[in-house]
Amino acid sequence: MYLLSNKLIFPPIELTNNDGILAIGGDLSPERLILAYKSGIFPWYNQGEPIIWYSPNRRMVLFPKDLKISKSMQQVLQKEEFSVTFNQNFSEVIANCKSIGRKGQNGTWITNEMQEAYQKLNQLGIAKSVEVWKNNELVGGLYGIDLTNIQTSSSSVFCGESMFSKVSNASKIAFIYLIKKLEKENYSLIDCQVYNNHLASLGAKEIPRNEFIKML
């Protein structure tokens, strides 16, 4: 495992261990985070731990054309009980992602340091949010990293980070609206990082890391 110094560099991603861990240490400066995401690397750790950098061998991604919307969700969308905005309240979205309770988890991996770092990226136009409203109350949303403005290739990739839901289906609404928007804007894929059943039900799938890196 590679121990990062103050130098703005990551080791080759082929050096990850079996758990997908590439390196520890470093910082969450905008420059390092941008380099990480451009290289297929992301931070994931808990409060009190050193920063841990991952690049899993199998990457969970969603190609916009593969989005699956169940019949029940289609009915929810048709009712128009929710309204959706884009990048209008990033601070509240990440704060809710940090504080929301999740089954099988104690606490959150969104540390105070990480929350501050991603708010800085939002101010730079790199981290963006989706907000879901019901009766003028923020009830769900998600945030992630938009690589479009920092990539030199023609590929457009959005890296999803976290989502939250205070009422049933709110996070799914955020995700569906985001995918539809990105499809219209010709994004290549959405990076979902690691496998989970929720995202698989919406059409996400795992691909080899080398394929993901090529798409970046």
Domains of the chain: 2-56 (3.30.70.3550), 59-215 (3.40.630.70)
Q: What is the CA radius of gyration of the chain?
A: 17
Sign of CA dihedral 111, 40, 104, 26: negative
What are the backbone angles phi and psi of residue 203, rounded to the nearest 5°?
110, 0
Q: What per-residue confidence (pLDDT) applies to 151?
A: 58
Report pLDDT digits (tens) over 126-158. 999 999 999 999 999 999 999 987 755 556 999
Low-confidence ranges of the chain (pLDDT < 50): 104-107
Where are the alpha helices (H) located in the chain, listed in sequence order? 30-38, 71-79, 90-99, 112-123, 170-184, 197-201, 209-215
Listed residue (66, 87, 50) closest to 188, CA to CA: 66
Q: What per-residue confidence (pLDDT) applies to 131?
A: 98
Q: What per-residue confidence (pLDDT) applies to 106?
A: 47
Instruction: Report pTM.
Output: 0.92
